[in-house]
Amino acid sequence: MKLISIITPCFNEEENVENAYRQVKALFDSLGTYRYEHLFIDNSSTDKTVEILRRIAAEDKNVKVIVNSRNFGHIRSPHHAVLQTKGDAVIPVVADLQDPLDLIPIFLQKWEEGHKIVMGIKSQSKEHLVMFAIRRAYYRLVSRLSEIELANNFCGFGLFDRVVIEAMREMDDPFPYGRGMISEIGFQPVKIEYAQNRRERGVTKNNFYTLYDMAMLGITSHSKVPLRLATMSGFAMAGLSLLVALVYFVYKLLFWDNFQVGVAPLVIGIFFFSAVQLFFIGIVGEYVGMIHTQVQHRPLVVEKERINFDDTAKQADDRFVERSSDRLAGSDGPRRHGLPISVPIGEGTLMTEEYT
């Protein structure tokens, strides 16, 4: 039977993780035609989430758990979980179950028909109307600015074939915009519309900063339009300033004794152009920040604990052999220059290799 990987990122979701586990288990028990693994990745929760996950994993070997050493954010942690899966297809499921599990059989049906990507499109939502409207407006904006076609109202819920997951792995992005990655890969997706449920337990962990971070990541990852807009605005404002200066000059010549420039136009002009400059400096700063993150190329997460991963030692051995081969062959692939890489080799042995 084919193996399906379910991933559930969580942070302080003690009220939701067990319910999510039971509903996913009941769904696959009813299907009966697939094996499944349910991978929870915890972002260093401070409540009883990890304790609950340990208990669930001890009772059910289909459940795998990764516990991060700290909170690595809602962008890097889920992507790391995707790359740790072994299934023939991967389906992200949020811990609060706002995305309906009833769509999973439909996803699987479309996948069996040969589609590599099946997207859940959030056409309606029971969340706050203002927030839903802002999200829709953002998706439309990013789609217009993007150099590739991005799916509107796609929040990451869907099914992705192993071919897609391996393509994402090859991108090797240390701070990935997952929704854009899916579109970047290029397979024609099947889109299934659904109505998002309201969160029943707990509170959302998103705030203004995390949502702004995701929004800017989506724009800077897939569009140069803001930078081009800054350049064109600079030319336009320079032309406008020259025109205004010319008008003032001619007016002064014609009405030399009566025309007074006054302080108000000067103050307004200074504040206006200062605001425009600060705005575009901020835009440039977002791109510089993205480049800085890419150049650092830090790992997606640092794991504190793994549960029910029987092949951990073998995976580490394979990673060490691959990196060593790249170094000896003079590969141009991604490396951690000057940083020690420590991985377990076999049982009870630690090997450290420094790259220069």
pLDDT tens-place string over residues 277-288: 888 888 888 888
> What is the structure's pLDDT at 332?
46
The domain tally of the chain equals 2
Mean pLDDT of 334-352: 36
Residue 217 lies in a domain: yes
Domain CATH number, residue 205: 3.90.550.10
Q: What is the mean pLDDT of the chain?
A: 79
Percentage of residues in the chain with pLDDT exceeding 90? 33
**Which residues span the domain enclosing 317?**
311-354
> Cα separations (Å) of 256 from 125, 241, 248?
64, 21, 11
For residues 320 and 209, state if they share a domain: no
CA distance 27 to 25: 5
Domain-embedded: residue 296: no
pLDDT digits (tens, 9 = 90+) for 193-217: 988 877 766 666 666 667 777 777 7
d(CA 252, CA 267): 19
**What would the mean pLDDT of 45-49 be, rounded to a whole number?**
91
CA 297 to chain centre: 16
pLDDT of 108 strictly over 80:
yes
Q: pLDDT band for 319, please (50, 70, 90 cuts).
A: very low
Does residue 128 fall inside a structural domain? Answer: yes
pLDDT of residue 279: 87
pLDDT at 145 over 60: yes
Among 222, 237, 264, where does a domain finish? 222
Instruction: Report residue 114's pLDDT band, with 50, 70 and 90 as the boundaries.
Output: very high
- Per-residue pLDDT averaged across 72-101, rounded? 91
pLDDT at 267 over 60: yes
Does residue 151 sit within a domain?
Answer: yes
Mean local confidence (pLDDT), 148-167: 87
Render the burial of 31-54: b for 16+ CB within 10 Å, e for the rest. eeebebbbbbbbbbbeeebbebbe
Q: What pLDDT band is residue 107 in, cutting at 50, 70 and 90? A: very high
Q: Which strands form 190-196's sheet, in the order they lie side by side?
A: 190-196, 117-125, 154-161, 89-92, 3-10, 35-42, 63-68, 303-307
- Of 222, 242, 258, which residue is a domain's last? 222
Q: What is the token pair recorded at 315?
A: 């995976």
Together in a domain, 343 and 197? no
Query: What is this structure's pTM?
Result: 0.73
Residue 303 lies in a domain: no
Nearest to 7 by CA among 32, 53, 40: 40
> What residue type is assigned to position 292 of the chain?
H
